[in-house]
């Protein structure tokens, strides 16, 4: 059985446990995960038997890519009839008997959902989002290798970018160095985010006060950006001496993302900022010591927060004031914001196959952000650090 067929089998097992008759998968990332194609359409997974990919565009491409039966979907008006023909035991039930159909409520637009409701009047709809997100939470060896490849490329980009840092270089010029390197080495040109209205470019390169500017993105560092239309990440501001440069960057190869952060400076950081960076590394090392199967995600966040408070940095941990984010790390894979989350309320125990980006950072309004981020795969005995880039504050001479 191929890897994607096994994923569909595991989904079917969960569907049977929860009483779901059929699952309609619509989102690009989930389609890619289950059939290897992102052509526009609906993947119908019955609780037993073979799935069918009903495609509007492009049917030709879907037949080349997908590992399930592909059928052309010409009109939503006839979709219910087509399903009744393909799966009579599920969608051909007598009037009054409801077919329980799951969908990804967290990403399915209301308008599209209403069209599906109209096409399948005999269905009782339920939210299947967590079934898929929890399945995707555990990565295969092949998925982890794809993330390793992204890590290798981002390490090359980081070293190239560090060598390019000089006084007067703008943040966006430094970001352009990163983007050029990763594109030449296979980066897809995008990194996907599941959260509604959350967007990400290549990451966040910001220096000094600009890096500490809060914004809508759910992370500890916002960035000035290039304007209100894109109020995050790098701006046109020149990088100055003795201010922290946060290089929080990613790369996506074959759909799989790496996430890492390093801190640099032209000259020397102020003593309190350098100390905060040391605390971020200490928190990371303490978290690493507990990265093993069974450790509860929530407890890792709580321990990191307590350490930050004990160091007198609680107000600066993972943002500042009302703009602090309440997590230490997040799952990563096909999307940048996968499960599990190292945050309060997430009681998942770590399991082999989870891949997590851990990012203790400290934000100082008007001055900058310092911190570090590595991505890890949980193994049977502990963890594998997938991030390759050297750690520590990278220092550039003021005299160039």
- Please give the chain's pLDDT, 400 residues, in tens: 699 999 999 999 999 999 999 999 999 999 999 999 999 999 999 999 999 999 999 999 999 999 999 999 988 989 999 999 999 999 988 888 899 999 999 999 999 999 999 999 999 999 999 999 999 999 999 999 999 999 999 999 999 999 999 999 999 999 999 999 999 999 999 999 999 999 988 999 999 999 999 999 888 998 999 999 999 999 999 999 999 999 999 999 999 999 999 999 999 999 999 999 999 999 999 999 999 999 999 999 999 999 999 999 999 999 999 999 999 999 999 999 999 999 999 999 999 999 999 999 999 999 999 999 999 999 999 999 999 999 999 999 987 6
Nearest to 266 by CA among 365, 389, 169, 369: 169
Contact call for residues 181 and 250 (beta carbons, < 8 A): no
Instruction: Measure the CA–CA gap between 91 and 80, rounded to whole angstroms.
Output: 8
Look at residue 400 in the predicted model and tell me its pLDDT.
61
* Residues contacting 209, CB < 8 A, separation 6+: 243, 365, 366, 367, 368
Q: What is the DSSP letter of 350?
A: P
Contact call for residues 35 and 53 (beta carbons, < 8 A): yes
Look at residue 129 in the predicted model and tell me its pLDDT.
98
Complete domains list, the chain, with CATH: 3-135 (3.40.350.10), 138-396 (3.90.230.10)
CA-to-CA separations, 274 to 347, 363, 390, in angstroms, rounded: 33, 12, 17
Look at residue 55 in the predicted model and tell me its pLDDT.
98
Instruction: Measure the CA–CA gap between 21 and 89, rounded to whole angstroms.
Output: 10
Return the residue matching tokens 């008997």: 97
Instruction: Measure the CA–CA gap between 90 and 67, rounded to whole angstroms.
Output: 22
Instruction: Measure the CA–CA gap between 122 and 149, rounded to whole angstroms.
Output: 46
Contact call for residues 317 and 376 (beta carbons, < 8 A): no
**Where do runs of H (alpha helix) occur along 28-140?**
28-35, 59-65, 79-86, 88-91, 110-119, 129-137
Instruction: Measure the CA–CA gap between 3 and 206, rounded to whole angstroms.
Output: 40
pTM: 0.96
Within 10 Å of residue 322's Cβ, how many Cβ atoms?
6
Look at residue 75 in the predicted model and tell me its pLDDT.
86
Look at residue 92 in the predicted model and tell me its pLDDT.
85
Contact call for residues 176 and 193 (beta carbons, < 8 A): no
Look at residue 93 in the predicted model and tell me its pLDDT.
86
């Amino acid at each position: 059985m191929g890897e994607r067929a096994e994923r569909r089998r595991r989904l079917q097992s969960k569907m049977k446990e929860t009483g779901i008759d059929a699952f309609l998968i619509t989102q690009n990332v989930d389609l890619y995960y289950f059939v290897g194609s992102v052509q526009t359409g609906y993947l119908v997974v019955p609780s037993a038997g073979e799935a069918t990919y009903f495609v509007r565009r492009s049917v030709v491409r879907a037949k080349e890519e997908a590992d399930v039966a592909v059928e052309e979907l010409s009109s939503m008006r006839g979709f219910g009839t087509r399903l009744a023909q393909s799966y009579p035991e599920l969608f051909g039930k007598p009037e009054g008997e409801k077919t329980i159909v799951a969908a990804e409520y967290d990403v399915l637009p209301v308008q599209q959902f209403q069209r599906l409701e109209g096409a399948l009047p005999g269905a009782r709809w339920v939210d299947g989002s967590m079934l898929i997100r929890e399945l995707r939470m555990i990565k295969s060896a092949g998925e982890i290798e794809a993330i390793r490849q992204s890590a290798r490329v981002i390490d090359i980009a980081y070293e190239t970018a560090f060598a390019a840092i000089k006084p007067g270089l703008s943040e966006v010029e430094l970001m352009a160095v990163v983007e050029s390197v990763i594109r030449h080495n296979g980066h897809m040109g995008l990194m996907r985010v599941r959260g509604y209205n959350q967007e990400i470019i290549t990451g966040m390169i910001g220096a000094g006060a600009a890096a500490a500017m809060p914004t809508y993105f759910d992370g500890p560092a916002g960035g000035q950006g290039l304007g209100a239309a894109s109020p995050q990440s790098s701006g046109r501001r020149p990088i100055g001496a003795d201010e922290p440069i946060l290089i929080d960057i990613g790369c996506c190869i074959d759909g799989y993302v790496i996430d890492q952060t390093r801190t640099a400076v032209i000259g020397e950081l102020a003593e309190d900022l350098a100390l905060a960076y040391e605390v971020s590394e200490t928190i990371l090392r303490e978290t690493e010591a507990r990265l093993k199967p069974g450790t509860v995600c929530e407890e890792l966040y709580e321990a990191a927060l307590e350490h930050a408070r004990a160091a007198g940095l609680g107000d600066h941990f993972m943002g500042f004031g009302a703009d602090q984010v309440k997590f230490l790390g997040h799952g990563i894979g096909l999307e940048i914001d996968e499960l599990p989350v190292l945050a309060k309320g997430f009681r998942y125990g770590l399991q082999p196959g989870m891949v997590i980006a851990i990012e203790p950072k400290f934000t100082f309004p008007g001055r900058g952000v310092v911190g570090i981020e590595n991505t890890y795969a949980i193994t049977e005995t502990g963890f594998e650090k997938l991030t390759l880039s050297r750690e520590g504050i990278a220092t550039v001479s003021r005299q160039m």
